[in-house]
Structures are given as C-alpha cells and as structure tokens.
Amino acid sequence: MSLQVAGLSKRYGPLLAVDDVTFTVEDGGALGLVGESGSGKTTTARIIAGLERADAGTVMVDGADRAGPARGRGQRLNRARQIQMVFQDPYLSLDPRLTTTEALGEIVALHEPGSRHSRRHRVAELLDQVGLGQREAAALPRQLSGGQRQRVAIARTLAARPRLLILDEAVAALDVSIQAQILNLLIDLRRQTGIGYLFVSHDLAVVRYVTEQVAVMHSGRIVEQGATHEVLARPQHAYTRLLLASVPRRGWDPAAVSRARRDLHDTTSDKETV
C-alpha cells in the first residue's frame, strides 16, 4: 500500500500549521517526518490518520482519496486496516481497567470476529509478535512498565493488520535501554510483515535506525527530503544542518550551536521582513 500526500495545508487561526506538504511513502517503505515542536509534523500525521481535516490537499492510499470523512461502519473498518497510529504516551491511550488480553481481544473481535477459539489464538499471536509474556498478558496498564505499555499499544494497532503505521514520537517517552528494545521491535516487525512506517520524531538519531527516507519540517513546510543516510551525511538546508549540529556528541560545543541558531533566525526573519 502506498501513501501519497500532496499539497496538504492546515490553518489554525493566524497560524499556518501545515503549509503545502507533499510526500510519498512507498508500499512497505519507512519515512521519517522530523521537526521540532510547532513544525507541523504531528498535525500532518493526524490529518493522514483522519483525526484532523486538512484545509487543502489530498491524502491518497493506493490512488484512492482518504481525505473526506468515512461513510458507514464498513468504510471505517476498511480505513482502520489501512492506517493505524501509535502515540507517544501509551498510558493515555490504553483503558486503565482492561488487561492486555482484554484490550487486544476487543479489537480482534472488531476486525476478525470468528470463533472464540480463533480470537484467543489471534491474541496470543499478537502478544508473541510484540514480545509480551503470560504475566504482561494478564496485567492492567498500571502494572506494566513504559516499554511494555508501548508494546501493548503497538499490538493493538497490529490487530487490524494495517499496511501502514503512523508512529508519533512513539519512543520519545521511553528510557534509553527500553527505547532500543522498541526500535528493534519495530525493525523486526517491518522485516516480518512488510508493514510501512510514517515515523514522526524530533530525534534525527532515532530516525536513522528505522527509516530509509526522511522529510525535515520547519514552520509547517518540508525544507528538505531524501534518503535518510544522504540527508544525515550531506544536509542541504541550513535548518537541517542546525538540527544535526544540535545533537550532543563528543567535542560538541553548545555555544557554537547557539550562535548558528541565532544566525539562521536572523536570516529567516530578514527574508520575512523584505
């Protein structure tokens, strides 16, 4: 399934949150959508997932438009099987009163009713896919660690057998040692199922591990787009270079980075006043 986004725009009052955004995620591909807070990356993702309506532009899945509201249960289920979304904080997106098994069973029943036996089998398969054991299956969200909760959230999205996952800062709230587990899980899932990813993140280093393509957003616009390793190795846009320089590493000088940031701001504001 390929996703084509063209000319997407969204305005909130005086703020043009998303400004003429165009990109494609190939069937089974992985695109990183990178930017800082307020860059429009999350709004773009939410429009694609159908959680927000764009003012202009199209969202096409395999050539069919997805921008309008879904009509009827059949179409809603169909759309759910195309695209699913994983959020940053699984604690906010899981029902606190449902165990992992119940939370998964609910969605399995929605998408693959079948017999009770087949549903139970499917739940076991999902738990296995995301690496959750017996204890976690019987646990409530508050009894799970952050990483385990995010595994439950991912399993819930996989229940619909979607062709594309939108991951909105899906590993940002996790501790480093757990973040690597979830990133590796995402890499494995893609290898096994051929699912595609739209990976929304502020973190260029993380994007490097899960995507082949990347689009960098700044003030609602995509300022640079290309193969992830190319963009990271030879960033063309000044903003991408600033983002890269801002990541702490050996020999890093925060004072030099802040000077570069001020220069960039000066040049952009000059342009705006001219």
Binding status of residue 60 toward another protein by CB under 8 A? no
Side chain identity at residue 125, one-letter code: E
How many residues form the binding site for another protein (CB under 8 A)? 46
Binding status of residue 142 toward another protein by CB under 8 A? no
- Token pair of 129, please? 């896919």
Nearer CB in complex with another protein: 6/244? 244
Please tell me the number of Cα atoms within 13 Å of 270 on its side-chain side.
6
Separation of alpha carbons 204 and 226, rounded Å: 13
Separation of alpha carbons 163 and 175, rounded Å: 28
Nearer CB in complex with another protein: 67/242? 242
Side chain identity at residue 7, one-letter code: G
- Token pair of 206, please? 């993380």
**Per-residue interface string for the shown chain with another protein, residues 179-198, x marking contact by CB under 8 A:** xxx-xx--x-----------
Minimum distance from residue 24 beta carbon to another protein (Å): 19
Nearer CB in complex with another protein: 72/248? 248
Cβ of 6: how many Cβ atoms within 10 Å?
A: 14
Binding status of residue 64 toward another protein by CB under 8 A? no
196-201 vs 56-61, strand pairing mode: unpaired
Binding status of residue 14 toward another protein by CB under 8 A? no
Give 42's contacts (C-beta < 8 A, 6+ positions apart): 168, 169, 200
Candidates 113, 134, 108, 138; CA nearest to 123 is 108
Minimum distance from residue 87 beta carbon to another protein (Å): 18
The answer to whether 25 touches 2, Cβ cutoff 8 Å, is: yes
Binding status of residue 28 toward another protein by CB under 8 A? no
**Per-residue interface string for the shown chain with another protein, residues 105-134, x marking contact by CB under 8 A:** ------------------------------
Residues in 148-177 that interact with another protein by CB under 8 A? 148, 175-177
Cβ of 145: how many Cβ atoms within 10 Å?
A: 12
Binding status of residue 261 toward another protein by CB under 8 A? yes
Separation of alpha carbons 72 and 252, rounded Å: 55
Span of 23-31, 117-125, 222-230, 266-274 interacting with another protein by CB under 8 A: 222-230
Residues in 201-220 that interact with another protein by CB under 8 A? 202-206, 208-209, 212
Please report, as ranges, the residues that interact with another protein according to CB under 8 A.
Answer: 36-37, 145-148, 175-181, 183-184, 187, 202-206, 208-209, 212, 227-229, 232-234, 242-252, 254-255, 257-258, 261
